[in-house]
């Protein structure tokens, strides 16, 4: 257990330590690499500068951000003895419990930072998208704290599946719009072409970007994928590193679920630097859903971050920006691309990935709830499932690895998904190779 | 911030320090005072003994219970600076944050203890009732941890209003039955007489007691009202006392919401002992709903703890055991009686009470969510409303009191109530004097 004075004073910028840096973002019009200034119209300047910072290893966390972190940080590191016993495994399983934040997930770590930077630069309005609503809830709270008006495009399937998350955002004072919506050109196009489409993060991003560009004194804020979001999330790993040291162990395996990479990056990067320096040989495993397998089965290519093609081109593993993920309950993992840093690390074999079927994730979640007492978010359950796989394999092989995973959020708002699981009303969703090849073949060849 | 080694080793038994002890429980058949042994058929022996313990000031917390407390304890003590600023009050406002438990409320403090004692005595099955579901969720987790089978009678209005809490209990492996139900004599009688009745804690207790009495090796477990439940909850105040000392302040006013008294007792009693010894003059305010005003407007009388009259007679402020509380969203406060200890303290002017209209509680909740970031449970919102009243009054009077309240739980499972509040779809419910007089006049005169 750490005290408030142990809240990190710096974020860790892994790019500074990478031998092969991520490839640059590309302007889709000119096909030229982007500079930080090119992002100023869309993002807070501080975030744009962080996005392009390839040199500074540590970046100061502003006092105002640390002050707000104190609401819930440092978060606990827990030895999962109940789960270990249930699995009868010699592995030592630890988890970092990010579910204790008032919005129930790690997303607040970057929401606070981005809202602060916007406010400090005189911005009055911000827009964003959200999948399951974890990010939207976090940003709603941060926006209220710093006095910003916020509009959230929430993926329609989650808007309907998770009405409580919508209510949470509204309780914090945000405006919530189901996406695709008629309020933007991008949304209208999708609705016209596919009237029953239940939305995706890609489409919601397009709508949020479009609204930001058309609103005076307004910036767009993103909850994952980008370098500066991963940077803000490294408070997770910075704390965990100190806590593992207090526990007298060092992780052999680090596991986190993977949607756009924010919680995976946040836990992993501070440990990864010891791999990059050659001191350690920890394995890093990104647990993605079987239904959205960009790291395990996508192609490495330049692709848009959104469905409509408003964003810069990002060098990443992708399923294609018009990939339509199945309507799984882990809404936060329904994203087509892996982001620039993680994709480069994956390419260099510095991180691994596994894909987890939905039913396996819920089975793991139920076991975790009954042994550790915390009902996990459907997203986090993918990390738990991957942890269980490792722990059982270790048992067969007679090894006793130290496994650390990120409990990125709790599932108290996702109980309808649990109801459906226990009623045998959920399915797995396999993506065909044909679909992946068809969608990714359409991408422009720039690399 | 406290560390794990600061988890209290003892519960505080306020009865030992009371000059006027609570009157004894009475056997409704013989009209004679009960002994601990008389309760053994219904409760775990250890709990029955604690119920009747009028002498030991401190009672050891078993190691197994402290071990499980470590999942979420010690809980934070927070200075509510955002709320202070919004109210522009000179008052210093602190809250003890019990919402960080994995089930989202303080209820786990006693659930763990009671489940442990049952298990230690060889019990295999337990029954209980729950209003909003906070208690039922807590006991479901504790029962699973200690390997007990659990049946929960959940008040029908909450069963329908709060389906997620039902799902949480089921996810932990408990059986959940909407009350009134056809599974018990008590339930069938109510359903027959009042087919559309949405239930009350009093009826649900009758059903749970009846099932426990008819099931082999089964005990009944209660989440509030009784002395031993209040005892277990004193970990809250024991921690808070140490934390206030670390903050360099001592509370002038202590506030908690009041249903059956568990969270109010838990926070208050450890501080109250310094009033009883004459060292301090803290004010203690129980915040009850306007629609269920037993402490502010009930009569002090012997009454049953349940609707059907299965329990011993309890000396307490009551609205009558067949009082039907309005269908407010603070389901945990819909109980007709105040319990023996608190009622005696109230009678001796050692604690105060206020009644809070439902709309005022939600207004306070929304302000708290937007200033402190945590969406409170509708129950806890009554404490927040009472705190705001005190803080605003202090401002008018030019005083700067230190106010400490208990955030007994979060409201993430109660978002439908917030939706209705923001849609202007909630009402206040006033109870007429005629109704109170009519219901309480029917009680047998024993005092």
**Over the stretch B37-68, which tens digit does the pLDDT of each residue have?**
999 999 999 999 999 999 999 999 999 999 99
Can you give the C-alpha Rg of chain B in angstroms?
A: 20
For B89, phi then psi, to 5°, come to -110, 145
Report the residue of chain B nearest A421, measured CA to CA: B171
pLDDT of residue B4: 82
Cβ(A395)–Cβ(A91) below 8 Å: yes
**Over the stretch A55-109, which tens digit does the pLDDT of each residue have?**
999 999 999 999 999 999 999 999 999 999 999 999 999 999 999 999 999 999 9
Q: Which of A284, A423, A285 is nearest to A362 (CA)?
A: A423
DSSP 8-state secondary structure symbol assigned to residue A105: B
Q: CB distance B171–A415 less than 8 Å?
A: yes
pLDDT of residue A161: 82
Looking at the predicted structure, is the pLDDT value of residue B307 above 60? Answer: yes
**For A373, which of B102, B369, B375 is closest by C-beta distance?**
B102
Looking at the predicted structure, is the pLDDT value of residue A206 above 80? Answer: yes
Whether residue A74 has a cis bond before it, omega within 30° of 0: yes
Mean pLDDT, rounded, for B74-90: 96
Q: CB distance B416–A1 less than 8 Å?
A: no
Domains of chain A by residue range: 64-104+228-440
Mean pLDDT, rounded, for B360-382: 97
Chain B residues near residue A171 by CB distance under 8 angstroms:
366, 369-370, 375, 415, 418, 422
Q: Which two tokens stand for residue B231?
A: 């005892």
**Over the stretch A274-307, which tens digit does the pLDDT of each residue have?**
999 999 999 999 999 999 999 999 999 999 999 8
Q: Cα separation of B428 and B359, whole Å?
A: 6
Q: Cα separation of B54 and B56, whole Å?
A: 7
- Pick from A137, A415, A426 the residue to mutate for testing the B interface (most B CBs within 10 Å): A415
Return the residue matching tokens 């209660």. B222
Cα B187–chain centre separation: 23
**For B167, which of A104, A410, A418 is closest by C-beta distance?**
A418
Alpha-carbon distance values, A23 to A32, A39, A56, A67 (Å)? 12, 16, 17, 34
Strands A92-97 and A77-79: antiparallel
Helix pair angle (B415-422, B358-372), 10° resolution: 110
Looking at the predicted structure, is the pLDDT value of residue B89 above 60? Answer: yes
The dihedral sign for the CA sequence A146, A151, A155, A158? positive
Q: Domain B64-104+228-440 classified CATH 3.40.50.1100?
A: yes
Looking at the predicted structure, is the pLDDT value of residue B432 above 70? Answer: yes
Q: CB distance B373–A71 less than 8 Å?
A: yes
Q: Share the mean pLDDT of chain B.
A: 95
Q: Which of A9, A13, A4 is nearest to A266 (CA)?
A: A13
Cβ(B106)–Cβ(B238) below 8 Å: no
pLDDT of residue A446: 63
pLDDT-derived band of residue A447, with 50, 70 and 90 as boundaries? low
Residue B247's contacts (CB-CB under 8 Å, 6 or more residues apart) are B77, B79, B94
**Over the stretch A321-358, which tens digit does the pLDDT of each residue have?**
989 899 899 999 999 999 999 999 999 999 999 999 99
Chain B residues near residue A410 by CB distance under 8 angstroms:
102
Whether residue B180 has a cis bond before it, omega within 30° of 0: yes
Q: Which two tokens stand for residue A153?
A: 């495009």
Mean pLDDT, rounded, for B140-149: 97
**Over the stretch B233-248, which tens digit does the pLDDT of each residue have?**
999 999 999 999 999 9
Q: What is the pTM of this model?
A: 0.90
Q: CB distance B164–A164 less than 8 Å?
A: yes
pLDDT of residue B327: 87
**Over the stretch B166-201, which tens digit does the pLDDT of each residue have?**
999 999 999 999 999 999 999 999 999 999 999 988
Lowest mean pLDDT among A220-224, B16-20, B155-159: B155-159
**Over the stretch A224-281, which tens digit does the pLDDT of each residue have?**
999 999 999 999 999 999 999 999 999 999 999 999 999 999 999 999 999 999 999 9
**Over the stretch B373-393, which tens digit does the pLDDT of each residue have?**
999 999 999 999 999 999 999
Looking at the predicted structure, is the pLDDT value of residue A16 above 90? Answer: yes
DSSP 8-state secondary structure symbol assigned to residue B254: E
Q: Cα separation of A330 and A339, whole Å?
A: 19
Report the gap between the CA of A64 and the closest CA in chain B (Å).
13
pLDDT of residue A186: 95
Q: Share the mean pLDDT of chain A.
A: 95
pLDDT of residue B5: 86
pLDDT of residue B447: 53
Q: Cα separation of A120 and B163, whole Å?
A: 42
CA dihedral defined by B77, B79, B84, B85, rounded to 10 degrees? -140
């Amino acid at each position: 257990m750490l005290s408030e004075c142990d809240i990190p004073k710096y974020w860790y910028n892994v790019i500074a330590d990478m031998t092969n840096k991520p490839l640059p973002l590309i302007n889709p019009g000119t096909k030229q690499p982007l500079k930080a200034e090119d992002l100023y119209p869309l993002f807070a300047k501080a975030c744009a500068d962080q996005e392009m910072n390839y040199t500074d290893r540590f970046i100061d966390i502003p006092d105002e951000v640390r002050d707000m972190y104190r609401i819930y940080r440092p978060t606990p590191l827990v030895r999962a003895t109940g789960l270990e016993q249930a699995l009868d495994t010699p592995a030592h399983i630890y988890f970092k419990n990010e579910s204790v934040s008032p919005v129930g997930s790690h997303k607040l770590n970057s929401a606070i930072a981005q809202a602060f930077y916007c406010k400090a630069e005189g911005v009055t309005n911000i827009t964003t998208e959200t999948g399951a609503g974890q990010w939207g809830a976090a940003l709603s709270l941060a926006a209220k704290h710093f006095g910003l008006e916020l509009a959230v495009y929430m993926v329609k399937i989650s808007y309907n599946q998770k009405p409580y998350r919508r209510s949470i955002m509204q309780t914090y004072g945000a405006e919530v719009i189901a996406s695709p919506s008629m309020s933007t050109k991008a949304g209208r196009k999708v609705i016209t072409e596919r009237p029953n489409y239940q939305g995706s993060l890609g489409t919601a991003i397009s709508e949020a970007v479009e609204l930001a560009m058309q609103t005076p004194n307004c910036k767009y804020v993103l909850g994952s994928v980008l370098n500066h979001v991963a940077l803000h999330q490294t408070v997770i790993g910075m704390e965990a590193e100190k806590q593992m040291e207090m526990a007298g162990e060092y992780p052999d395996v680090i596991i986190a679920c993977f949607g756009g990479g924010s919680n995976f990056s946040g836990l992993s990067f501070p440990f990864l630097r010891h791999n990059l320096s050659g001191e350690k040989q920890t394995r890093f495993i990104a647990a993605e859903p079987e239904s959205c397998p960009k790291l395990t089965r996508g192609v490495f290519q330049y692709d848009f971050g959104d469905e409509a093609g408003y964003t810069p081109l990002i060098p990443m593993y992708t399923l294609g920006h018009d990939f339509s993920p199945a309507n799984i309950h882990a809404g936060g993992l329904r994203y087509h691309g892996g982001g620039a840093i993680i994709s480069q690390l994956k390419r260099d074999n510095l991180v691994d990935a596994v894909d987890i079927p939905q039913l396996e994730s819920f089975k793991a979640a139920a076991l975790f709830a009954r042994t550790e007492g915390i009902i996990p978010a459907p997203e986090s359950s993918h990390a738990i499932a991957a942890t269980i796989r490792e722990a059982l394999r270790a048992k067969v092989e007679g090894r006793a690895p130290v496994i650390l995973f990120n409990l990125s959020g709790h599932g108290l708002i996702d109980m309808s998904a649990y109801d459906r699981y226990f009623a045998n009303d959920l399915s797995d969703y396999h993506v065909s190779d044909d679909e992946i090849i068809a969608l990714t073949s359409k991408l422009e060849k720039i690399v």
